[in-house]
Amino acid sequence: MKKYEELKKFYIEHGHLKIPNNSKYTKLNNWCYQLRNGKNKLSAEKKDLLNEINFVWKPVDYRWKEGFELLLEYKNKYGHCHVKQQSVKHKKLSSWCNIQKMYNHNGLLDKSKVEQLNSVGFSWFESKNDLWERRYNQLVKFKNDYGHFVVPRKKNPKTNNIDYKSLSNWMSTQRYYYSIKKLSPIREKKLNDIGFIWSFRN
């Protein structure tokens, strides 16, 4: 059980079993690989010992869990799960989300994973109308929080975890469509209902 003790030590020191793929841990990684392949031959006692330190039987599931945890962090920070398809700031999460959408579209994503994603409001596909409503709700929240519609295009110390640039651009778009009379009456009414300012000119 020498390798087990080595594995347990790694878990205690790092809090996980994501073992680096380098020469220092080659033997330990090889041992873990053999354990996974011979899982059905292991005694119940040995399986229990490995489960106690959260041994990763399926690395692909572990990587999925990592991605899901990144998604939860994103939602806690921004209040939604609408990750951009090509986000520079959240490149790893963006790539992971795109893979989930592709797998689900092709019927390759486990039902349990689909349910987990649905439970946190994962955005499988966002229509233009859904996007409009999401931006509108962001604007309503901003008005309720700050009492005005002067949405900053840059971050500041008080709101350094929120990027308002997209919301500001959206507002400019609404004003443009309003000015050329291309904004639908329903959307115009919704914006008027919250006191939206169509022009800052006197």
The CA distance from 147 to 55, in Å, is 51
Query: If you average pLDDT over residues 137-160, what whole number do you get?
Result: 80
Residue 70: per-residue pLDDT: 94
pLDDT band at 120 (very low <50, low <70, confident <90, very high): very high
Q: Which of 141, 145, 171 is nearest to 158 (CA)?
A: 145
The CA distance from 115 to 110, in Å, is 9
DSSP annotation string for 19-39: ---SGGGHHHHHHHHHHHHTG
Q: Judge whether 62 and 102 are in contact, CB under 8 Å.
A: no
Tokens of 90: 């959240």
Express each pLDDT in 50-99 by its tens digit.
Answer: 999 888 888 888 889 889 999 999 999 988 898 887 778 899 999 999 99
5: which residues sit within 8 A by CB, 6+ positions away? none
151: which residues sit within 8 A by CB, 6+ positions away? 139, 142, 164, 167, 168, 171
The CA distance from 117 to 122, in Å, is 5
* C-alpha distance across the termini of the chain, in Å: 80
Query: If you average pLDDT over residues 152-164, what whole number do you get?
Result: 61
